[in-house]
Structure 1
């Protein structure tokens, strides 16, 4: 019986006296052909498909279609992408927690186990969008703005604190910590995730979807991520794949350097 691409690409590595399993693109290339020049973003998607191949949501044809992208620099095939985690901010994240709470309430009415209603993918909700600036220009401004924020949105934060305690794989970053993309870059991005699956430690690239168009900032760390709508984010939170066409990729090279007084924002 021939091995699936998923099985054929599986390999191990040793780190800190622990064995990790991962899905090797060089091993996959023995079946898929030369993929060395595939854009790095598509290589991350290729690993994602290899890891999730089940011949239902992800098939060998999906994997071959992505690996063959270089032939025309385009592919009209829909794939199922499963991000490692979900990033939310308070405007879009609160409704998602409300939905989870409503699901638990429905399960409770039906006599089921409410503890089974949990995110299946890690979710980080960063509170930053509702913060307003009332005070500025003095040493006490920051503390006073945070105090007013807590006072004005007390009920919301009590609810989110309950959500963090009630749901597994769900964490809340309080106001005053920074904007969600800064927090994502400095604290949440891992580059490589490791997780215990079927009694094996599996290592895989950090990927995410976020409920904000600026989520792509995380790509600066080599972490593949982009913004989606609230419904797609909730689906990913519940372990469902994000359906998407194999994306077109455009590369460009910057040369020279910015002169003094010119910022990266000016360049963009």
Structure 2
């Protein structure tokens, strides 16, 4: 990701436990203090990704001056710092990336340049069927059966995790996407 232009001088450093973290202070943007929490998160995102083209000072000011009663008149960019998907949507994304790599290679390009633009994690949830129950090893047995039933799928996802930069798979039995996202 390119460095932010930082028109508002919002960029700073927060030191915690001997570690330094780059932050963007909302207090540098007049009006941001009155925004609802969700728009404060979006404002921080715009400060962090301000590039003068896709995200400009005017976009940040428009958001800071948000009026809940006004008709929206400015479209703004949102650039996620991280993407989390469940397997239902994640598997097609990996198929698309693999297909793009094939197309790039066919056209003579470097297929290794095709990668997610942001770190992405795919949580395989709701895929384990309850075949075995009432036993201490029920979860382990059910997860084993899931791998047996869908071995080709998991082999493909294992390949994807190794092939693409910043892509991780959370295997079945480790939690549902909402829980993993919070953790």
Task: Report the TM-score range of the alignment, normalised by the length of the smaller protein.
Answer: 0.7 to 0.9
Partner residue, 1:82: 79
Aligned ranges for residues 144-223 of structure 1 at < 5 Å? Answer: 144-186=141-183
> For residue 26 of structure 2, what is the aligned residue in structure 1?
25
Unaligned runs of 5+ in 1: 187-268
- Taking a change above 3 Å as real, the CA distance of residues 72 and 111 of structure 1, as seen in their structure-2 partners, is closer
Aligned residue in 1 for 2:33:
36
Give the alignment's TM-score, normalised by structure 1: 0.61
Q: Secondary structure at the match of 1:92?
A: helix
Task: Give, in whole Å, the separation in 1 of the partners of 2:55 and 2:83.
Answer: 21
Bigger relative contact order (CA 8 A; separation at least 6)? 1
Q: Deviations over 1:67-107 (max 9, x none)?
A: 112x4455503211111111111111111101111111112
Provide the C-alpha distance between the structure 1 equivalents of 2:86 and 2:21, rounded to a whole number of angstroms.
Answer: 33
Equivalences, count? 178
CA distance in 2, matches of 1:180, 1:75: 35
Unaligned runs of 5+ in 2: none
* Offset from partner CA, 1:191-216 (integer Å, 9 cap, x none): xxxxxxxxxxxxxxxxxxxxxxxxxx
Runs of 4+ aligned structure 1 residues displaced above 6 Å come to none
Shift of 1:124: 0.6
Give the RMSD, CA atoms, in angstroms.
2.0
User: Cα deviations across residues 12-66 of structure 1 (Å, max 9, x unaligned)?
Assistant: 334455554322222223xxxx432221221111111122222321222221221
Structure-2 residue corresponding to 1:212:
none
Which whole-Å CA distance do the structure 2 matches of 1:13 and 1:119 have between them?
28
